[in-house]
Amino acid sequence: MSAPLHDPEAPREPVRLKLAALRAEPLPATFKGLPAIAEGVFLQDLDRLKLSLLDGDLPLPAAVLKESALTHNARWMRAFTGRAGVSLAPHGKTTMAPQLFQRQFDEGAWGMTAATAVHVRTYRRFGVPRVILANQLVGKADLELVFRELAADPSFDFFVLVDSAAGLDLLRTAAIAHGLTRPVQVLLEVGTPGGRTGVRSVEEGAALAALIQAASPAIALRGVEAFEGVYSGADTARVELGALTMIETVAELTRRGCADGWFAPGEVLLSAGGSAFFDMAAKTLAAVEAGGTGHALRVVLRSGCYLSHDSLQYERMQDRMRQRAGALWGEGPGLRNAIEVWAYVQSVPEPGRAICTAGRRDLSYDACLPQPLWWYRQGTHDAPQAAPGSWTVSKLNDQHAFVDAVAAADAGEGALPLRVGDLIAFGVGHPCTTFDKWPLLYTVDDVYRVTGGVRTFF
Amino acid sequence: MSAPLHDPEAPREPVRLKLAALRAEPLPATFKGLPAIAEGVFLQDLDRLKLSLLDGDLPLPAAVLKESALTHNARWMRAFTGRAGVSLAPHGKTTMAPQLFQRQFDEGAWGMTAATAVHVRTYRRFGVPRVILANQLVGKADLELVFRELAADPSFDFFVLVDSAAGLDLLRTAAIAHGLTRPVQVLLEVGTPGGRTGVRSVEEGAALAALIQAASPAIALRGVEAFEGVYSGADTARVELGALTMIETVAELTRRGCADGWFAPGEVLLSAGGSAFFDMAAKTLAAVEAGGTGHALRVVLRSGCYLSHDSLQYERMQDRMRQRAGALWGEGPGLRNAIEVWAYVQSVPEPGRAICTAGRRDLSYDACLPQPLWWYRQGTHDAPQAAPGSWTVSKLNDQHAFVDAVAAADAGEGALPLRVGDLIAFGVGHPCTTFDKWPLLYTVDDVYRVTGGVRTFF
């Protein structure tokens, strides 16, 4: 058994995912947002229907991705990682959309990140060649899903986390029992006290690294990983210090590991960087040196949300990232929101309140409630009108959003001009929990004509 | 054009939904919870695989429905509605599972309730013969989905809500434009001040009823409706008074409508009763009399959650329902929880904290956070062990649950005996937002052997 070697200088084959069957799949009539005319139509033929959201061609709610923003964001991240000298394995759990994975590979992604063994299976079905499973792998059936893929394709490059002796023992025992003919490549997971998974200190990490080494040849230690995004909240200083400390622990363990010979042959991976702190991860980890030990180092960021971005949570965080990043950020403001959910105004039962046809089944509500972005009245407006900042979503039910005009009582009925039948667009904070509510999202041009559809697999 | 007549004395044909194609559908390898051995297996053959959750045959997380509780709950509700002398059109939006709809019809459901036009399309695809769309219908493409069904099958019995002149006008104009050859049957929607949709008072209702009458023959007023579940919260007196007032407004408008001849020929429907107050709706509405006007009255409850019930929100509400209902409740405690989500303990990074492999993508978190119900260690336990009440879910991430032992600091490590690889079951508060996270839920017997699968269409 020997670990596969990765030559960072080797020319890269373009990754072409297996999307043909997906594109040729007839769209089921049970999908929300799908109009009668699109039932049974192949995904790849959606654009031929010339559907217009603003003309009312779609039953609402419907979720859309703006083509121009997707393209901008994919290119922006390629440029950013290029400047930073790091690689990207976007977290596919955000979208679970192989068509979007292809866009990410087209813009230079080095691999994809997964959260579960079932994600790994889905990725492999569509031909993703390299996966970081950013969790410890436990459970007979989960292990089997992953080991089957490892056995079936010697070129499948797979990494999984280990954060404890218990987890390591389960993995090693299962790998031997399955008769795997190559080592399972693992990354040592760094956590933080009071946080989620991962070792709590450099010392715990060093102790675990010794155990992983002893699990050779079934297991190969290939690097160090953290998810610093466990830090969040309004206390910026505390949050940033916590995230940075985790990233620095990755750096420290990598340096120690190189010096002390912990790592299996080949590149050593340093991986961190969710969607809120990838600037810090890039800066800190790209500065690590292997110290003449012969190991090549590869920094792998794992942001999942950059492609769609959002209007609220990550948009706010981006302001701070831009400040921190300085010249590394490049020109311009950065990522743009690509994801919106459109609904109808179903009822205006009282002045200052509109009840709209999208709810908890359609919109994120974990980081914050959604926010009205646009409204549009057919026959009156030429283009969507910006929703005033005084409009808020005060409540979500499963299938309804309550849009209130904050100053309605003072301003009279004019504060909320919405009428039954008007269209309204919502922006979200946290794309992950909006994507997972839609088996089909539309791609649209800047005037909301449907250019295609993106299927998700949650 | 004439409204279809419903003779409550007529013998009822058993409803047989079109489930054959669904049952003969191969299960896609992208479904979470699906083990390798079940990929491509027909849904109807799942039981033949003899899968055992406790033996680790399923990748986790997986969602299960306990057969014994489903059966109990379906029969319990049949008995309850029988005692109360009311009909049931369960809200299908809870489960969006045609196989469960069939169980509900088998136990005497009169129809199904839907939340959106897309739901109506899905119901019709599976042959649901009678639907209440419990919302006002707006939007060109949504109207088209419904009108197509009305045009295609003269026996399709469909009701939709109207809550305003604006909504009525949209519906009437569209019905005429589509050349429908029978009237659209509408229910006048009752709301509450500060609430969601619906008229705010008897007076508003009477004024709208006059407009609906004037929209004949395109529109036929067939009854009055409310969703009293807009009232919720800890202030029981306020909540119950609010809900009861809405239900009484339905009663009052029905009496007035009968007396003043608002309603189209045929049965008049009085509909209310979500899952928290169906006892109050049944008692109050079943007591309404048509006053010798020749109208037969039918009370239709619409609970969606009774079939699965839950462990937290509706379980707490049930205590109060039982108190209120008195003899109408019948013997025994009532509904039983049928829905659980199982996960693995992935990491025990600190004493008193276990990180488990289920998160916001798998579990409800809108009414409350989930609660550990059971845990199980293979090779040690004969059966799932009850989780102590001191274990709580302190946080959910997208793919993780943080299980903390409340008294861990005092009690030492023994407070949370969980180890990496243990199984853990979570109960939820609010089944609607758990069902919609699972394209496939397993039915299981009382020792968690898989007896089948239930597909959902969200």
Interval A386-417: pLDDT, tens: 999 999 999 999 999 999 997 645 555 567 99
Among the candidates B305, B324, B349, a domain finishes at B305
List, for residues A57-115, the tens digit of each pLDDT value. 999 999 999 999 999 999 999 999 999 999 999 999 999 999 999 999 999 999 999 99
Contact A57 B141 (CB under 8 A): yes
How far A198 CA lies from chain B's nearest CA (Å)? 7
What is the predicted pLDDT for the residue at B298? Answer: 98
Please give the Cα distance from B243 to A43 (Å, whole number): 45
- Are both A240 and A348 inside the same structural domain? no
- Are both A179 and A120 inside the same structural domain? yes
What is the predicted pLDDT for the residue at A293? Answer: 80
State how many domains chain A has.
2
Q: Chain A within 8 Å of B42 (Cβ-Cβ)?
A: no
- What one-letter code names the amino acid at B142? D
How, if at all, do strands B391-396 and A385-386 pair? unpaired
Question: Whole domain around residue B287: which residue ranges?
Answer: 85-305
| A5 band by pLDDT with thresholds 50, 70 and 90 | very low
Q: Is A410 exposed, middle or buried (0-12, 13-18, 19+ CB in 10 A)?
A: exposed
Please give the Cα distance from B185 to B222 (Å, whole number): 6
- Are both B284 and B362 inside the same structural domain? no
Please give the Cα distance from A80 to A102 (Å, whole number): 19
Contact B36 A145 (CB under 8 A): yes
Give yes or no for residue A56 having a pLDDT over 90: yes
What CATH number did the domain enclosing B437 receive?
2.40.37.20
Q: Which residues of A touch B346 (CB under 8 A)?
A: 135-136, 138, 167, 197
Q: Chain B within 8 Å of A56 (Cβ-Cβ)?
A: yes
Give yes or no for residue B413 having a pLDDT over 80: no
Q: Chain B within 8 Å of A114 (Cβ-Cβ)?
A: no
- Are both B172 and B295 inside the same structural domain? yes
Alpha helices (H) along B18-125:
20-23, 67-84, 98-106, 117-125
Using a pLDDT cut of 90, give the percent of chain B over it.
Answer: 93
Of B166, B360, B420, the CB nearest to A419: B166
**Mutate which of B355, B364, B396, B403 to test chain A, going by most A C-beta atoms within 10 A?**
B355
Q: Is there a contact between B367 and B427 (Cβ–Cβ < 8 Å)?
A: no
- Are both B33 and B92 inside the same structural domain? no
Q: Is B414 exposed, middle or buried (0-12, 13-18, 19+ CB in 10 A)?
A: exposed
User: Helix crossing, B140-152 with B165-177: angle to 10°?
Assistant: 50
Tell me which residues of chain A, numbers 439 to 458, contact chain B at a CB-CB cutoff of 8 Å.
439, 457-458
What is the predicted pLDDT for the residue at B291? Answer: 82
- Are both A127 and A254 inside the same structural domain? yes
- Are both A295 and A339 inside the same structural domain? no
What CATH number did the domain enclosing B214 receive?
3.20.20.10
Q: Chain B within 8 Å of A52 (Cβ-Cβ)?
A: no
Radius of gyration of chain A measured on its C-alpha atoms: 24
- Are both A27 and A104 inside the same structural domain? no
B320 is a domain residue: no
Residue A445: how many other CB atoms lie within 10 Å: 12
- Asked if the interface predicted TM-score (ipTM) of this complex is over 0.90, the answer is yes
- Are both B262 and B355 inside the same structural domain? no
pLDDT averaged over every residue in chain B: 95
Contact A436 B361 (CB under 8 A): yes
Alpha helices (H) along B3-108:
20-23, 67-84, 98-106
B72 is a domain residue: no
Contact A350 B194 (CB under 8 A): yes
Among the candidates B257, B289, B305, a domain finishes at B305
Q: Which residues of B touch A437 (CB under 8 A)?
A: 436, 458
The token pair at A283 is 């800066």
A45 SS3 class: helix
- Are both B389 and B254 inside the same structural domain? no
B79 is a domain residue: no
Which residue on chain B is closest to A163 by alpha carbon? B347
Output the 3-class SS for A178-190. CCCCCCEEEEEEE
- Are both A166 and A275 inside the same structural domain? yes
Contact B139 A60 (CB under 8 A): yes
Q: Chain A within 8 Å of B36 (Cβ-Cβ)?
A: yes
CA proximity to B216, closest of B268, B177, B172: B172
A134 SS3 class: strand
- Are both A91 and A55 inside the same structural domain? no
